A and B are shown apart, each in its own frame.
Chain A
Amino acid sequence: MIRSIRACKTAAEERAVVRKECAAIRAAINENDQDYRHRNLAKLMFIHMLGYPTHFGQMECLKSIASAGFPEKRIGYLGLMLLLDERQEVLMLVTNSLKQDLNHTNQYIVGLALCALGNICSAEMARDLAPEVERLLQFRDPNIRKKAALCSIRIIKKVPDLAENFINPAAALLKEKHHGVLITGIQLVTDICKVSTEALEFFRKPKCLDGLVKTLRDVVNSPYAPEYDIAGITDPFLHIRLLKLLHVLGQGDADASDCMNDILAQVATKTESNKNAGNAILYECVETIMSIEDNGGLRVLAINILGRFLSNRDNNIRYVALNMLMKAITVDAQAVQRHRATILECVKDLDASIRKRALELVYLLVNESNVKPLTKELIDYLEISDQEFKGDLTAKICSMVEKFSPDKIWYIDQMLKVLSEAGNFVKDEVWHALIVVISNASDLHGYTVRALYRAVQTSIEQESLVRVAIWCIGEYGDMLVNNVGVLNIEDPITVTESDAVDVVEIAIKHHSSDITTKAMAMVALLKLSSRFPSCSERIRDIIVQNKGSLVLELQQRSIEFNSIVEKHQNIRSTLVERMPVLDEATFSGRRAGSLPATVSTSSGTSLNLPNGVAKPAAAPLVDLLDLSSDDAPVPSSSGNDFLQDLLGVDVSPASVQPGTSQAPKAGTDVLLDLLSIGSPPVQNNSTPSDILSSSQDNKSSVAILDGLSPAPSGGAASMIDLLDGFVPNSPKPEDNGPAYPSIVAFESSSLILTFNFSKPPGNPQTTLIQATFTNLSPNVYTDFVFQAAVPKFLQLHLDPASGNTLPASGNGSITQTLRVTNSQHGKKPLVMRTRIAYKLNNRDVLEEGQINNFPRDL
């Protein structure tokens, strides 16, 4: 069959062959064919390996296992292990067969059972069969003992409680001479110790520990043994297992660690490291040394070995060395620093795995003293690294620079370089943070804007760079043109006003600019039109080109700004004044997800205030925005909104917070209130209607407009949160609380009817009435029916009653829900006629009444 499958040239052919075979197998299963069962199972397994479904064969495996012959059992167990896993319920059926086989006289069959159990048993099976396995740990045949040991490992992993039972048998295994049993025994002990602290204590006792150390010493010193020799070392696997066990035993325990010091030193120095086997042993040895309690000499030894590994030409060795060094840093950072140069080389390695490890290691090594050279190296490499790596590299560089930058100018320099190289990989928070820093570094504004101008000339495709650049040019354009604040390290540069406008224009028109960039560019143009009055006309031309843009945000900005430039020159300059310094502390606090404890007022002074209006406008607005963040459900995202609003960015509808859904109607009333509060700071140059048509300093009024306009286009988030801030105490319309008292609608000597009222959310005309009927007489009422009639301006709907038998003397009640809709809600109260019919001792009774005492405002 295999031959025929391999002969197939196409996938479809293969599927056809497989289907035919499956059909044949299924037929054979149905006929319960004994002879070819094992062959069919083998075929099934092959088909399974190719990836086709084979569930129909599972019962066949079971039958095969149950049969008496060795070949059938062998293939049955193999099928079991391949076709089933522990999640299948069918597995439970095998438990019985397994139990019998574990007690079989033929030790190979016992071996098969142990093997299967060890590979796929589930927790229940483990519990059932654990005693058998325990017994087999002491079987005379070493082959069985070692299988039993590994099986026990799986049992312990599945059912940790059973670990204690295995401690003693496992301890016996440690004294074995047979390598196979010894290895598995050690493995078992290691796993027991990981699971049970009691076992850990037991095996840490000097008696046990010394035995282990002696075993290791014997193996290290043993002469050439052809059976176990690999690359000149006797049984490296045994070495490694022993070292692992010592690792577990020595960790956290000083005495145990002392015992092992000598042997560890011996292994570390004497093992040859020209072959992989030797290196594997050294690796494990170093790992052990690093984890046990401190011993200076050993640690130095270990780090030296790692240093040797690092300069090895074999990639595997270097990889494991980097891995180990990461752990070593916590232990001895100084020593690792010495190898910094080599590690840096590894960051540039051809091998992706090595690069990743090296980068992580470098990141861990960074501190204030070496951040500058390290960053320089990494940024240099950024230029030549390949795309998948750039993302990681950029993130790490940005994070490093942010944490350890010694001064602002260096920070800005590095960030500019990163943005020029890999701006597209830079996350939003990073360049937001950059802008905050720039705005705080007031003496560097000129330098920054000039540097950005130069950078943008060369790297226009890097989106984030363009965004930061146009923001800065918009803000500090005058400094750019007038060469304000030149530092002596700068080369002189002359930029004319129209050059500056060129840059922004290119940004708007560039094909790869997305909406955020274009929106920011618009704002920048508006600012420039005020700062460079001579270019005003040209700027206006650029702005109106977006008047017909399909994107609402751009269109809106275009029209508004155009109107400002054309008609409102008198307020324009105050509108686009220099932005107040963004408060770094608040920003980083928000970013960290914590709510600011105090409302922040922008503390930094803004430059060049022609009149003092702008600042108070900013302060209460900032306060208001802080208020909004207290209500915002997710502080970190509100932090972003805060900054995004200030930057005039925030086009994505995804940023609209859930707050928008909460207060739609209450919103409009309060909004007008808010505007009257918000207007005094700007009242000296605009009327309320102007507020609606012009844009304010921080662009938050765009958000107000968005809130008013029927189509919310994002950016309204914090504003609507603002509105929430103003309606904390007013009762929400959807309040379902007991605003209306319940009434006794009808009362007679034998019956009481009470009404409880509630209003469904969003519908003030409708009232839900919960009617409760209670029987006061000592007799039971049966066939209880309630009817009601209402005048024409009301609509009534009765739900079915909870029952129609009313127990006597108030021992129970019937409830029924009524729904009344009042078309004259607020003008006329509810009124209702009732008719109650029931049978008392098989006599019909009728009670009628009228209910006039409904609460007035239902």
Chain B
Amino acid sequence: MVIRELSGVILTRGPKLCNFVEWRGYKVVYKRYASLYFCMCIDQEDNELEILEIIHHYVEILDRYFGSVCELDLIFNFHKAYYILDEILIAGELQESSKKTVARLIAAQDSLVETAKEQASSISNIIAQATK
């Protein structure tokens, strides 16, 4: 519902117009990257220009992680996009301003997942062997 309404408003705006719209008493800041729009809804008191920076911060980190990220990457790996977002924002507030740190944390957690998977597959191998 919300998404439909917002997309209606934002998609109709021309390229040269400013990146802020007012919507239902809040401000919505959007930034366009090729065919993707990143929107963030903020209160009246927040700094819009900073939000633009935050959006760009996030996109750059995604870029580094996926290596030249494109829309398909985000669709097929939405869960990873969310994990990265969780390292940047919590409760709507900025968490980490260093891209390097974020990348490091994500990499660490990914390796945990990898090791867990390997363990799981090796255990199932053992069990499979044992029950043969």
Chain A residues in the interface with B (C-beta under 8 A): 2, 6, 42, 45-46, 49, 51, 69-71, 74-75, 78, 81-82, 106, 108, 114-115, 118-119, 143, 146-147, 150-151, 153-154, 179-180, 183-184, 187, 227-228, 230, 235-238, 240-241, 244, 276-277, 279-280, 283-284, 287, 314-320, 350-354, 356
Check if B109 sits within 8 Å of A108, measured CB to CB: yes
CA–CA, A69 and B105, complex, Å: 18
Check if B53 sits within 8 Å of A236, measured CB to CB: yes
Query: In the assembled complex, how far is the CB of residue A253 from the closest CB belonging to chain B, in whole angstroms?
Result: 19
Check if B49 sits within 8 Å of A238, measured CB to CB: no
Check if B82 sits within 8 Å of A283, measured CB to CB: no
Check if B47 sits within 8 Å of A69, measured CB to CB: no
Interface centre among B49, B99, B101 (most CB of A within 10 A): B49
**Which residues in chain B, 57-98, are within 8 Å of chain A measured between CB atoms?**
57, 75-76, 78-79, 82-83, 86, 90-91, 93-98
CA–CA, A283 and B22, complex, Å: 19
Check if B50 sits within 8 Å of A237, measured CB to CB: yes
- Residues of A near B75 (CB, < 8 A) are 2, 6
- Residues of B near A279 (CB, < 8 A) are 49
Check if B78 sits within 8 Å of A49, measured CB to CB: yes
Check if A82 sits within 8 Å of B49, measured CB to CB: no
Of the candidates A235, A240, A316, the one whose C-beta lies within 8 Å of that of B19 is A316
Check if A78 sits within 8 Å of B97, measured CB to CB: no
For residue B6, CB closer than 8 A to chain A, the reply is no
For residue B21, CB closer than 8 A to chain A, the reply is yes
For residue B132, CB closer than 8 A to chain A, the reply is no
CA–CA, A284 and B82, complex, Å: 29
Check if B50 sits within 8 Å of A280, measured CB to CB: yes
Check if A237 sits within 8 Å of B53, measured CB to CB: yes
Known: A180-B97, A315-B18. A276 touches B53 (CB 8 A): yes
Of the candidates B14, B91, B100, the one whose C-beta lies within 8 Å of that of A150 is B91
Of the candidates A118, A237, A318, the one whose C-beta lies within 8 Å of that of B90 is A118
Check if B53 sits within 8 Å of A78, measured CB to CB: no
Query: In the assembled complex, how far is the CB of residue B90 from the closest CB belonging to chain A, in whole angstroms?
Result: 4
Check if B47 sits within 8 Å of A352, measured CB to CB: no
CA–CA, A276 and B31, complex, Å: 13
Of the candidates B76, B100, B105, B120, the one whose C-beta lies within 8 Å of that of A227 is B100
Check if B83 sits within 8 Å of A230, measured CB to CB: no
CA–CA, A317 and B20, complex, Å: 11
Query: In the assembled complex, how far is the CB of residue A142 from the closest CB belonging to chain B, in whole angstroms?
Result: 9
**Which residues in chain B, 3-62, are within 8 Å of chain A measured between CB atoms?**
3, 14, 16-22, 47-50, 52-54, 57
For residue B126, CB closer than 8 A to chain A, the reply is no
CA–CA, A147 and B105, complex, Å: 13
Check if A187 sits within 8 Å of B94, measured CB to CB: yes
Known: A82-B82, A119-B90, A154-B91. A180 touches B98 (CB 8 A): yes
Query: In the assembled complex, how far is the CB of residue A151 from the closest CB belonging to chain B, in whole angstroms?
Result: 7
Check if A119 sits within 8 Å of B79, measured CB to CB: no
CA–CA, A273 and B74, complex, Å: 33
Known: A49-B78, A230-B53. A78 touches B83 (CB 8 A): yes
- Residues of B near A119 (CB, < 8 A) are 86, 90-91
Q: What residue in chain A is nearest B120 (Cβ atoms)?
A: A69
- Residues of A near B18 (CB, < 8 A) are 314-316, 318-319, 351, 353-354
CA–CA, A45 and B75, complex, Å: 12
Q: What residue in chain B is nearest A153 (Cβ atoms)?
A: B91
CA–CA, A315 and B16, complex, Å: 8
Check if A179 sits within 8 Å of B98, measured CB to CB: yes
Interface centre among B21, B90, B112 (most CB of A within 10 A): B90
Known: A42-B79, A280-B49, A280-B50. A150 touches B97 (CB 8 A): no
Query: In the assembled complex, how far is the CB of residue A133 from the closest CB belonging to chain B, in whole angstroms?
Result: 12
- Residues of B near A237 (CB, < 8 A) are 50, 53-54, 57, 94, 97
Check if B95 sits within 8 Å of A146, measured CB to CB: yes
Check if B97 sits within 8 Å of A235, measured CB to CB: yes
Known: A71-B117, A82-B82, A351-B17. A280 touches B90 (CB 8 A): no
Of the candidates A49, A75, A180, A319, the one whose C-beta lies within 8 Å of that of B95 is A180
CA–CA, A284 and B113, complex, Å: 41
Q: What residue in chain A is nearest B96 (Cβ atoms)?
A: A180
Of the candidates A45, A180, A238, the one whose C-beta lies within 8 Å of that of B79 is A45
CA–CA, A276 and B49, complex, Å: 7
Of the candidates B105, B108, B113, the one whose C-beta lies within 8 Å of that of A74 is B113
Known: A147-B95, A237-B50, A320-B48. A108 touches B20 (CB 8 A): no
Check if A353 sits within 8 Å of B105, measured CB to CB: no
- Residues of B near A49 (CB, < 8 A) are 78
- Residues of A near B96 (CB, < 8 A) are 146, 179-180, 183
- Residues of B near A230 (CB, < 8 A) are 53, 57
Known: A69-B116, A287-B47. A108 touches B108 (CB 8 A): yes
Known: A75-B79, A78-B79. A240 touches B50 (CB 8 A): yes
Check if B108 sits within 8 Å of A46, measured CB to CB: no
Q: What residue in chain A is nearest B72 (Cβ atoms)?
A: A6
Check if A280 sits within 8 Å of B53, measured CB to CB: yes
- Residues of B near A70 (CB, < 8 A) are 109, 112-113, 116
Check if B91 sits within 8 Å of A316, measured CB to CB: no
Query: In the assembled complex, how far is the CB of residue A323 from the closest CB belonging to chain B, in whole angstroms?
Result: 8
Interface centre among B16, B18, B57, B99 (most CB of A within 10 A): B18
What are 22 contact pairs spanning A and B, CB under 8 A? A2-B76, A42-B79, A49-B78, A78-B79, A78-B83, A119-B86, A119-B90, A119-B91, A180-B95, A235-B97, A238-B97, A240-B47, A244-B47, A276-B49, A276-B52, A284-B47, A315-B18, A320-B48, A320-B49, A351-B17, A352-B17, A353-B17
Query: In the assembled complex, how far is the CB of residue B59 from the closest CB belonging to chain A, in whole angstroms?
Result: 13
- Residues of B near A227 (CB, < 8 A) are 98-101
Q: What residue in chain B is nearest A319 (Cβ atoms)?
A: B18
Check if A353 sits within 8 Å of B21, measured CB to CB: yes
- Residues of B near A151 (CB, < 8 A) are 90-91
Check if A353 sits within 8 Å of B22, measured CB to CB: yes
